[in-house]
Amino acid sequence: MEKKLILIGPLRQVLTLDGIPEKGAVKDEQLQIVEHAGMVLQNGVIQEIGDFDSLYQRWHEQAELVCTEGSQVALPGFIDCHTHIAYAGNRANDFALRNAGSSYLEIAEAGGGIWNTVSHTRASKEDQLVRLTVERARFLLSQGVTTIEVKSGYGLQVKEELKILSAIKTANRMTDADLIPTCLAAHMLPRDFDGGAKEYLDQMETVLFPLLKTEQLSNRMDAFIEKTAFQADVIKPYLQRAKEMGFDLTVHADQFTTSGSQIAVELGARSADHLEASTSTEIDLIAQSTTVAVALPAASLGIGCDFTPARKLLDAGACLAIGSDWNPGSAPMGQLLTSACILATMEKLTNAEVLSALTFRAAKALGLHDRGRLVPGMRADFILYKTDNYQNITYYQGSMLPAAVWKDGKEVVSNNNDGQYI
């Protein structure tokens, strides 16, 4: 049975992001902005966007009217295409040690780093991981993030990776945001594994991969390609096997040293994430491919390293997305828009480039084609801000909270904030 039509408006501005290409630099003049707009929704899908008065005349007798108070701006729901929010524990000590001068390797050797989180996550029961993941997902949703990629990678044993991915699956049923699970069993070689990297990866291939398919826990495979994790020659056969089994690929690439982006492009990965160490060679390689470059500025802030060369990637013709990388070690802030605005300042990105990177270009990194723009036929995932000018959203660098967040044609967050920003 079809649900009744919903007419929302009048809205000061609707940023549709229609007509903007998936790759390359974007000028703000390319943004399509509908003034004094209305949106017609049905069954969680956008039916029409246009002048509010015209839509009201045509649909007011059939549609439920949702009036927007004061000046409001609508834009597509944000898509966070890279997070690690299914974890337990805290690494505040790592952050303090880094700021005091300790290196990443020194912290890891002293018992910190990824292994610290693995230990805490393994010690947590599945229902605890569900609760923690739901809490973090709801926090992101309150910021306007309606789709959230969530990685495993803090189990590093077959049963523990299954536990984390099962927790993500359960958490997805308990939050209004869509959680997209990714298996990151190749995060690092676990300290307690009796064997080398090849033996560990072989075990994941032969035991874990089939279980992921059987239990429908994830259709995405990730790997950390780095000298301190898995080197390119060792990880490539693992990712090739995953691709042969039908998994979509993504790669932690070029964070400290290069080689990961080349593997990502060679294997047709949906995205290569981090890229802080990428040079002109890697930039050109990515730009000429279908692989999305995902910048993670919060990790640069957390570690104190260079930012992803976002300006060069865009100018070379790459598709750029931006993720929060929310994790307990290098990126604990969990603020997608704030970190994106910081990257924009450091890399001189236009508003159009930032908003594209947080919406339809991030959707492309996840292989999703039904969200990220406000056009007929797309999911009705959108954010409303109490402002008369969309530029204020990035101007306030994430401190302006959404007035409301809609997911699949339903209001799921209402902040009732009366001021310009909080």
Q: Is residue 422 part of a domain?
A: no
We report the CATH number of the domain holding residue 160 as 3.20.20.140
Co-location of 234 and 344 in the same domain: yes
Q: Are residues 196 and 218 in the same domain?
A: yes
In a domain, residue 419? The reply is no
Measured torsion, CA atoms of residues 409, 411, 412, 415, in degrees rounded to the nearest 10:
150
What's CA 121's distance to the chain center, in Å?
Answer: 22
Domain end marker among 365, 382, 403? 365
Nearest alpha carbon to residue 26 among 413, 363, 359: 359
As for how many domains the chain has, the answer is 2
158 and 52, same domain (yes or no):
no
Exposed (0-12), middle (13-18) or buried (19+): which is 42, by Cβ within 10 Å?
middle
C-alpha span between 390 and 337 (Å, rounded) = 14
Return all residues near 422 (Cβ < 8 A) that are at least 6 apart.
399, 400, 401, 415
Q: What angle do CA 409, 414, 418 make, to 5 degrees?
A: 130
Question: Using CA atoms, how far apart are residues 302 and 403, in angstroms rounded to an integer?
Answer: 29
| DSSP character string of 141-200 | HHTTEEEEEEE--S--SHHHHHHHHHHHHHHHTTSSSEEEEEEEEESS--TT-SS-HHHH
Query: Domain span at residue 58?
Result: 6-76+372-414
Of the residues 365, 385, 404, which one is the last residue of a structural domain? 365
Of 326, 342, 365, the one marking the end of a domain is 365
Q: Are residues 179 and 37 in the same domain?
A: no
Same domain, 213 and 312: yes
Task: Report pLDDT for 1.
Answer: 47
For 2, what's the count of Cα atoms within 13 Å in the CB-facing half-sphere? 8
Residue 421, domain member (yes or no): no
Centroid of chain to Cα 118: 22
Q: What is the pLDDT of residue 2?
A: 59
Same domain, 281 and 405: no
Identify the pLDDT of residue 417. Answer: 59
Q: Which residues of the chain have pLDDT under 50?
A: 1, 419-422
Give the pLDDT confidence score for residue 227 in this predicted structure.
87
Domain containing 42 — which CATH number? Answer: 2.30.40.10
**10 preceded by cis ω (within 30°)?**
yes
325 and 313 in a common domain? yes
Domain identity same for 92 and 172: yes
- Whether 136 and 151 have beta carbons less than 8 Å apart is answered as no
